[in-house]
Chain A
Amino acid sequence: MIPQKQLLFWLIPIPLLLAFCLLSGAAGFGLPDAATPTGRALLELRLSRIVTGFFVGAALSCSGCALQAVLRNALAEPYVLGVSSGGSLGAAVVIVLGLASLTPLALPLGAFVGAAATLLLVCALARRAGGYMPNTLILTGVVVGSMLSSLLMLLLSFAQSRAVHSITWWMLGSLQATSWSLVTLIAFLIVLALATLIVESRTLNALLLGTETAHNLGVRTRIALPLILGAATLAAAAAVAVSGIIGFVGLLIPHVLRRLTGANHRTLLPCAALFGGTFLVLCDTLARTLFAPHEIPVGVVTSLFGGPFFLYLLTRARHHAPLQGEATTL
């Protein structure tokens, strides 16, 4: 575990890495010539991807942290409550109905509505089945997610091949947003959700010990639980709306950072936002430059590069059992 005072030094490379990503492109290393229209367009494209990637990475990482705490499940990640299936179905409906060509906002809006509606459905069903108990929520999320995935497959089986192609590419995930207005809107939603989670970080610390202990510690669990679930899923739904399904970030980053910073959410959540955002931007830079001019899905890079690093941390922790550090401040 890194002592809290040293964490500040770990933040220094972040702007340098983001600058490195801005300079890296399919055509080589360097800043495009802003004096030419092509250069300006290239620069804008790279900037848009970096900003989108940073916000999406931050959203998925913080959402994963919060859901792992509330659901007290190491396998919980932003899509555990069926948000990915709902978002995919929403996007697929927009594509199949041909609404995507009407306005650039139609596809992200469809994905967002699908994801948000899924969350509401899962929460309503879990509440009827016995309240916001972790296992009930996870099981309801998995079942609703499977049902929506089946509906998506049904839709795909009737769709024309062009629509199937568009849906498949959307589901692979991409950080190329269609417009700055969309990026601004998504960034606003993500900042709102992450601010809520950070304000509730003490509640998350208490919830890690279970709902009953959190209640005994003075947490208003009946309000805090839906608020945190809503904020975590809003962040994930906003990310899905702009980028499609990008896996692994929301599972990997919380686990890696918990090992480095400890379980205190007052430190963990801001670190997850900064490191998760930077991680996704780096992965996206690799995705667009590694086999240039061919671009690979960013989800492939997050798994192939993040996975081994996580496994390394896991095995290192087993060999060096005491991951001790200074007592951190809650």
Chain B
Amino acid sequence: MITLGHVSASYRDARVVNDVSFHVARGEMVALVGPNGAGKSSLLRVITGLLPAQGSVQVAGVEVSKLCPRARAKLLAVVPQEIACDIPYSAHDFVLLGRTASLPRFGGPSAADYAAVQDAMTLTETWPLRQRLLPEMSGGERQRLALAMALAARPEIILLDEPTSHLDLRHRAEMMRLLTRLNREQRTTVLMVVHDLTLASQFFPRLILLSLGQKIADGAPADVLTPALLETAYACPVSVFPLPEISALCILPRL
């Protein structure tokens, strides 16, 4: 579904992605992990075509630069790290923006558009908030709305940039459960930037570890989250403890 071949990208003179290659198959759920500045968010920008890159970036078998923006947005939705909170959009209007690529230039949204919005808001438990304005909402509510906006597009691929950062424990678990359900039931491909390594090991069967713009590991959590690889990536000693009761790994820095 997403294929990167020897991809490199820069902001002006600073190289942020350096010769990265991987393939994410349809229906896979993959986490991008790595320290700050590793190039995770930049890699998402490369996949959406926002950041021009050298090498090959294919989405659904087509070079992303050759996809028309509307077709790309129907195929691939993005949940950003943060959303602007000072705009007096109602929650419903905000989620309807997720249908931008499907709406006609003239004329209003169709019944199918409203149905997609209602489904997305019901899934993310934001339907009761539909008439509230964005500036009145908490960070967690806005983050769930951002996910609803992405789901409203009914995409085949969802890219998420650290979407759990503003969520409390319950909503974090619910968002991950929802993503897992979408992935299993609708075969939605999920590629998510995750800082919480325990969360990544708990919910993602495959992790890609980045450091200084390069891929240094790709595989199952137990193969990627090893002390040796993590110490190389994060430049700090770490301890890894298995948590068999939740099928996850606990990673703590060694002081």
Contacts and interface: CB of A to CB of B under 8 A. Distances in A.
- A and B bound? yes
B92 A324 contact: no
Contacts of B133: 322-324
A329 B84 contact: no
B217 interface: no
Contact of B136 (A259, A321, A326): A321
Nearest to A259: B88
B98 A217 contact: yes
B56 interface: no
Interface string B63-96: 0000001101110011010011001111111001
A330 interface: yes
Interface stretch (B100-108, B163-171, B183-191): B100-108
A165 interface: no
B132 A218 contact: no
A258 B84 contact: no
A209 B88 CA distance: 11
Q: Is the interface of A mostly helix, strand, loop or mixed?
A: loop
B89 A263 contact: yes
Nearest to A198: B106
Contacts of A325: 90, 131
Interface residues of A, number: 32
Interface in A230-274: 258-259, 262-264
Nearest to B93: A330
Nearest to B101: A218
A72 B69 contact: no
A220 B69 contact: yes
Interface string B155-198: 00000000000000000000000000000000000000000000
B48 interface: yes
B97 interface: yes
Contacts of B106: 199
B77 A199 contact: no
B109 interface: yes
A295 interface: no
B26 interface: no
Instruction: Indicate the size class of the contact surface on chain B.
Output: 35 or more
Contact of A328 (B73, B93, B98, B100): B93
B130 interface: yes
B25 interface: no
Contacts of B69: 215, 218-220
Contacts of A328: 90, 93
Nearest to B12: A130
B50 interface: yes
A154 interface: no
Given A206-B100, A212-B50, A218 B84 contact: no
A262 B48 contact: no
B97 A263 contact: no
Interface string A313-329: 00000000111111111
A216 B88 contact: no
B219 to A, nearest CB: 29
Interface of A: 1, 72, 199, 202, 205-206, 208-210, 212-213, 215-220, 258-259, 262-264, 321-330
Q: Which 5 A-B pairs have the closest CB atoms?
A: A218-B73, A218-B101, A327-B92, A216-B78, A217-B100
29 contacts: A1-B88, A72-B84, A208-B87, A209-B97, A210-B84, A212-B50, A212-B80, A213-B78, A215-B50, A215-B69, A216-B50, A216-B78, A217-B73, A217-B97, A217-B98, A218-B69, A220-B69, A262-B89, A262-B90, A322-B133, A323-B88, A323-B133, A325-B131, A327-B91, A328-B90, A329-B93, A329-B96, A329-B108, A329-B109
